[in-house]
Each structure stands twice: as C-alpha cells, then as structure tokens.
Amino acid sequence: MASRLLLLLAALFAAVGCSQAEKVVVDWDIGYVWGARDGYNYRRAIGVNGALPIPPVYVTQGDTLILNVHNSLDVATSVHGHGIFYNGTSYLDGAGMVTQCGIPPGESYTYVIEAHQVGTFWIHGHNHHQNSDGLRTPFIIRERYQSPKYDEEVLFGLEDWYKEESSIKMEQITAPTNATTPPPPTFPYGLINGYNGNDTKPVNFVPGRRYRFRVVSMATTEWFKFSIPGHKLEVIEADGIDCAPYVVDGLDIAPGQRFSAVVTALDQTEFNYIYNVTLYADFVPRLRGMNPRYYQGLIQYREGAPVKRLAVSSDAQLKWANDLDMVALDGMGTLPVDREFRLASQTMRTTDSRNLRMLHKYPYATPQVPTLFTAFTMGKLAMDPRVYGPQTAALVVPHLDAVQVRVGNPTDLVHSFHLHGNTFQVVEHGPVDPKTIVFSPGSNQTLANVPFIPVRRAGPVPMRRDTLVVPPFSYVDFRFRGDNPGAWMFHCHMDTHFAAGLAVTFVVAPDALQATQRLPKELQQMCLRQGIKASGNVVGNQGYNFAGLPPAPVAVQTNGTQPALPPASGPHPAHGPAPSNTVASAQRAAPTSRPQSPN
Ligand SMILES: [Cu+2]
C-alpha cells in the first residue's frame, strides 16, 4: 500500500515536472500551395506541410521552441519571430541577409527560440517578402501561471490577402518605370484566422466570464480596426509588453502590431452582439475612404438569440488605443538619452528611373555579407558604420547606451515601423516642420489641409512596443537601450515600402557581440554553399577594401534638393528640451514626379 502511494506520488511529481519547461517541437516544410484563401482568387501561395493557414504556435513561458524548417520552395527562405529578443542568439533572428543567408532550396535549418518573454507575437518569413504570400502565423507565449485577469482566450490573426503573388508587386515597386505609370492599386481582402473574414465561427460568451482577445496584425500593407459594440476593451498587452489596464472602444492595428484586450461578457443571454473587423487603407491620400472592407462576426450569448441593435457610432466618437496613453505594467521609467539618431522617411527618384524610399542616407539594399556576420568578423572595425556599406544604413549603438531615435515623416503617407530584437519606449509625437512637407502628386492637398498636430509626450512610464506608427506630417521619438548585442533591422512593415528601401540596421554593441556570442559555423557554411561570402565587410573583403561594392543609387536633382546626410549622432542631454526639428527640415525629401502607389 505504502509503495503504491509512493508510486502515485512519484507519478504526481513527474506530472508536475512535465508542466514545467518543455521542448516544443514544430516541423515546418515550407512549400507552395494553391487555393482561394479570400474565397475569390485562386492563386499560388506559401504554406507549410502542404497547407494554409499555418497553425498558430503556442508555447508556455520557459519552454524552448524547436522550429525545424525545411525549404521546399525554389528560392531561399528564412523565418523570423516578430517581437522575440533573441538575446544571446542574435544569429537566429531570421532576417534574410541581415542575420543569416537564406536557407537554400532543399535544405533544412532549426530555429531555437527560448521563450523568456510572454505575450502575443508572430512568426513569419523574412526573405523575398514570403510573409505576404502566407508564410506567417501567430506565436503565443502564455504565462506559466495564467493571469487572473481573464478566463479564456480568443485569437484573431488578421491578414490582408492580394490576388497576385508578392514578388510580382515588389518587382513593380522597384523596377525602373515610366514616371506616369505607377503600378495599379490593388485592394486586398481581409482574412481572419486564415479564412475570409466573413466566414468566422461565432465567439461564444458566457455571462460574466472574461475573454482575452489576442489581436495580431500580420498584414502586408493595410490597417485593421477591431471593436465589439456594446462592450469595452480592456487592453492589457501590446507587442509582448503588459500594460496597466487601459479601457478603450476599439483597436486600430498597424501591420506587425499586436494587442491583447480583455472583454467581460455582459450579464445577459437575451441578445447576441456583433464584432467588427475593418480593413482599410484610406490613409493613401488619393484613395481616401475608397476601400474599407467590413467584416463582422457573432458574439454569441445564446444560439438563435436576436442581435442587439445599437446606435451606430462614428469612429471619431470612439476611443481608440493610443501608445502615448499606455503605461508599461513593469513601471520602467523613461530612459535617459546617451545618443540620438534622426531618421526621416523620404522618397528618392533615381537617375535610372526608380522610385525608392529611405530613412537614412540611402535606400536600404541588402549587403553581400549578412550584416551580423560583418559585426562578428571585422574585429575592432565592426564599431565603424562604414564597414557595413552605405546601403545597409548601419547605425552603430555602443553597448548599454540609451538611444533616442526620432523618425520624421514629412510625407502624407503613414508608416508602421518594426525594430527587431528589442522593444522601445514610445515617448513623443509631434509635427514636422511644415517647410519639409512633401505631398504625393495627385493628392490635391495643400499645407492648409495639413491637420494641426500638437506635441504630445508619454507619461513618466512610457509604453514599450516593437512596432510603431508614424502618422503623416509628424515625427515620433522612441528610446531603447543597447543591451542586446546584434544586428537589428528597423524597417517599415508595409512590404512595398520595405521593398523600396525604407529600412536601416541598428548594429548594437559589436564588441560585446564578439565577446559573448559565437557565430555558428553551420550558418556560415550555409552562405558559402550559395556562393555568398560569410565574413568580412559589406562585400566580404577585409578592412576598408570595398572593391566590388555596387554603386549606390543617385537621386535626380529636383529643385536643387538632394536628400541631405543626417547629422552625426552624439551625446544628448538627458531629459533636455525637446530637440528642434531642424534636422528633418534639412533632410527634405526629393519630391517624386509620379503618384505614390498605395501599396
Ligand atoms: Cu511604410
């Protein structure tokens, strides 16, 4: 009897042990699949294990995700955990030609993600814009002990879905082109959890229970709005950072962003309610208001119950989640500023008739050696941004420096910028110098139409995120500390903007990187097998020998204005007065001579 009791106890302990950290193995055979995901357009897409959508990946904090990727495509691929820090394993970030060469066709590679973080993330392809073709799925890291704030989870994985393959569109974006014939606008459909947004099952509500809605935007270009009229949304997380409970009516979600909001079911079963998911791109000036797509589904309190009729509120009457009003739950105060970088979203019409975008000196273009490999292999020279080449727009952050980045956007287009490997504090939003403003041709706007944008600052405990919106005609300041050595992309998550060059690379503490991490030989060999150099500067040479570097694009001189170089970064007084925007005005973008593509 006693021994049986012991066995029982042992089994119990084993069971408890099993509920502790686990290895979660996920096998992805990435390949082409055919289907009409939106219900209309039959086309080739990219799925895993012969199917789309890709099942969401769930792990628990402390687990290790072993993601075995096999590449059955005919081009290279790589996979990025959006929002994951990869602290100590920067070479697993998955950004193509930044932290690795792509996995060649027919080969396999294993990504190991230690789930130190908690929250709502997503995993997506980061090579050839394969995410836009379906290679994307939510990645949820649950708390080991579920928060008492909610009873159940509801996942909303949102995608925009185009009728053509992304490679076709991306080629159009960067191809030398006649100035008067921009690529035709295409309006995607919205997908919810992988299927046409109107084909969702009801979300069942039990009175009094609390539901955590995890809303993940995996969009390529478009924005989504989410609301449940008749119910408040209590935001508790954004981009993997818990926040103080923040009650709003709706979520406005940019490409790459995530929110968790707790919704308490009403104490009734008389009526059912509706949730709204709206896909829109009316921030494109010449298309304003033209292409929202409305999706609705049922919040079901009782099968067959009538839907409650509510007065319709305009979006302007509703309260939408705003980063500057959010407070990080861990109480981390505003960082000081050791160093400041100023970036500005600009367009460049090149002498070879391309319409490119840039944030720094030049439109981003991938280097001939992954930037991280340059950081690992250039010794002391790795601290010099020049070794990464002009078009990677490398910004070197000394170890543990607190950095402020001002991203100016003097255009009439909105952007959604994502920083790999880090979260940043969103600290300030304000107007750009009116003298720097550039309108998209055909927008029919003048300075008189530019909205008044007041300077707004976050409170003493700013929200941290990994993806932030920079609205038209405005700047946003964000801060982060260089405590995660690696090469981290900062890019617009609207894929056509990214493809046109709207990106830079923060190379954080290459000295600490060399001292604390080892670049896996396996990754270097993966490059060599494809004829790509795996060490040295931007072109794989030693020192400052840049023989073989392709020429950087040259801007067409327009009104004598050529994008100016940003200033050298330098020490900045902590908590000093808000820096003036004179730098942004010096960086006036060369006006383009054709309408911008909405996509
Ligand atoms: Cu953008």
**pLDDT tens digits for range 511-546:** 999 999 999 999 999 999 999 999 999 999 999 999
With a cut of 90, say whether residue 375 has pLDDT above it: yes
pLDDT of residue 408: 97
Residue 75: partners with Cβ closer than 8 Å, 6 or more residues away: 102, 105, 127, 128
- Residue 267 has a pLDDT of 98
Determine which of 200-214, 286-300, 403-417 has the lowest per-residue pLDDT on average. Answer: 286-300
Query: Which of 3, 33, 93 is CA-nearest to residue 419?
Result: 93
SS3 304: coil
> For position 197, what pLDDT does the model report?
92
Residue 482 pLDDT exceeds 70: yes
Instruction: Enumerate residues 6+ apart whose C-beta is below 8 A from 20.
Output: 62
Q: Give the Å distance between the CA of 8 and the centre of ligand 1.
A: 59
Predicted local confidence at residue 3, as pLDDT: 52
Residue pLDDT, tens place only, 458-471: 999 999 999 999 99
**Predicted confidence band of residue 94 (pLDDT cuts 50, 70, 90):** very high
Confidence of residue 286 (pLDDT cuts 50, 70, 90): low
The answer to whether residue 426 scores a pLDDT higher than 90 is yes
Please state which of the ranges 370-374, 473-477, 590-594 shows the lowest mean pLDDT. 590-594
Q: What is the mean pLDDT of residues 551-572?
A: 51
Longest dimension (CA), the chain: 93
How far is Cα 208 from Cα 210, in angstroms, rounded to an integer?
A: 7
Mean pLDDT of 219-246: 97
Q: Is pLDDT at 363 greater than 70 in this prediction? A: yes
CA–centroid distance, 86 to ligand 1, in Å, is 25
Question: What is the CA(536)–ligand 1 centre distance, in A?
Answer: 31
Assign 589 to helix, strand or coil: coil
Tell me the CA–centroid distance for residue 359 and ligand 1, in Å: 10
- Is 68's pLDDT higher than 80? yes
Token representation of residue 304: 């067959």
Tell how far the Cα of 65 is from the centroid of ligand 1, in angstroms.
Answer: 31
> Ligand 1 centre from 419 Cα, in Å?
13
Taking the C-alpha atoms of residue 289 and residue 477, their distance in angstroms, rounded to an integer, is 29
Residues linked to residue 262 through DSSP beta bridges, in sequence order:
212, 234
Give residue 559's pLDDT: 30
Specify the pLDDT at position 175: 79
Separation of 228 CA from ligand 1 center, angstroms?
28
Average pLDDT, the chain: 88
Q: Ligand 1: distance of its center to the CA of 97 in Å?
A: 20
330 pLDDT more than 90 = yes
- Within a 10 A sphere around the Cβ of 215, how many other Cβ atoms? 25
More confident residue, 263 or 12: 263
Helix or strand (DSSP H, E) at 508: strand 503-508
Closest of 150, 126, 151, 155 to residue 138, by C-alpha: 155
Q: Report how far residue 333's alpha carbon sits from residue 459's, in angstroms, rounded to the nearest whole number.
A: 9
Instruction: Read off the amino acid at residue 585.
Output: S
Tell me the C-alpha distance between 483 and 335, whole Å.
Answer: 13
Higher pLDDT, residue 303 or 449: 303
Quote the ligand 1 centre to 416 CA distance (angstroms): 6
Report how far ligand 1's centroid is from the alpha carbon of 301 (Å): 40
For residue 122, report the distance from its CA to the centre of ligand 1, in Å: 19
Q: In what order do the strands lie in the sheet with 258-264?
A: 195-196, 189-192, 152-161, 210-217, 258-264, 233-238, 241-248
- Note the Cα 485 to chain centre separation in Å: 20
Distance 499 CA to ligand 1 centre (A): 10
Q: Would you say 427 and 458 are in contact if contact means Cβ atoms under 8 Å apart?
A: yes
- pLDDT grade for 473, boundaries at 50, 70 and 90: very high
Distance CA 72, CA 74 (A): 7
* Ligand 1 centroid from CA 255, angstroms: 9
Q: What six digits make up the tokens of 560?
A: 């004598």
Cα(206) to centroid of ligand 1, in Å?
41
pLDDT computed for residue 266 by the predictor: 98
Distance 500 CA to ligand 1 centre (A): 9
- State the pLDDT at residue 561: 37
Contact 264, 298 (CB under 8 A): no
Q: Of 77, 71, 79, which Cα lies nearest the Cα of 106?
A: 71
Highest mean pLDDT among 12-26, 39-53, 161-175: 39-53
* Å from CA of 414 to ligand 1 middle: 6
CA of 498 relative to ligand 1 center, distance in Å:
7
430 CA to centre of ligand 1 in angstroms? 18
Please give the Cα distance from 361 to 332 (Å, whole number): 33
| pLDDT, position 172 | 78
C-alpha 469 to ligand 1 mean position (Å): 9
Q: What is the pLDDT of residues 397-417, one digit of tens each?
A: 999 999 999 999 999 889 999
Cα 318 vs. chain centroid, distance in angstroms?
Answer: 26
Q: Is the pLDDT of residue 568 over 70?
A: no
The least confident of 173-177, 315-319, 505-509 is: 173-177
Cα 532 to ligand 1 centre (Å): 29
Residue 502 Cα to ligand 1 middle (Å): 7
The torsion angles phi and psi of 381, rounded to 5 degrees, stand at -65, -15
Nearest CA among 404, 475, 469, 406 for reference residue 434: 475
CA–centroid distance, 227 to ligand 1, in Å, is: 25
Please report the pLDDT score of residue 147 as a whole number. 86
CA 543 → CA 295, 524, 539, distances in Å? 56, 19, 11
Q: pLDDT value at position 446?
A: 86
Distance from Cα 497 to the centre of ligand 1, integer Å:
5
Q: How far is the CA of 21 from the centre of ligand 1 (A)?
A: 38
Q: Where are the alpha helices (DSSP H) in 147-208?
A: 166-174
Residue 523: left if φ>0, alpha if ψ -120 to 50, beta else—which one?
Answer: alpha
The residue type at 306: P
Query: Separation of 358 CA from ligand 1 center, angstroms?
Result: 10
Which residues have a Cβ under 8 Å from the Cβ of 12 and sit 6 or more positions away? none
Q: Does the pLDDT of residue 87 top 60, yes or no? A: yes
pLDDT at 4: 57
Tell me the sheet residues that pair with 442. none
Q: What's the pLDDT band for 352 if we cut at 50, 70, 90?
A: confident
| Ligand 1 geometric centre to CA of 411 (Å) | 11
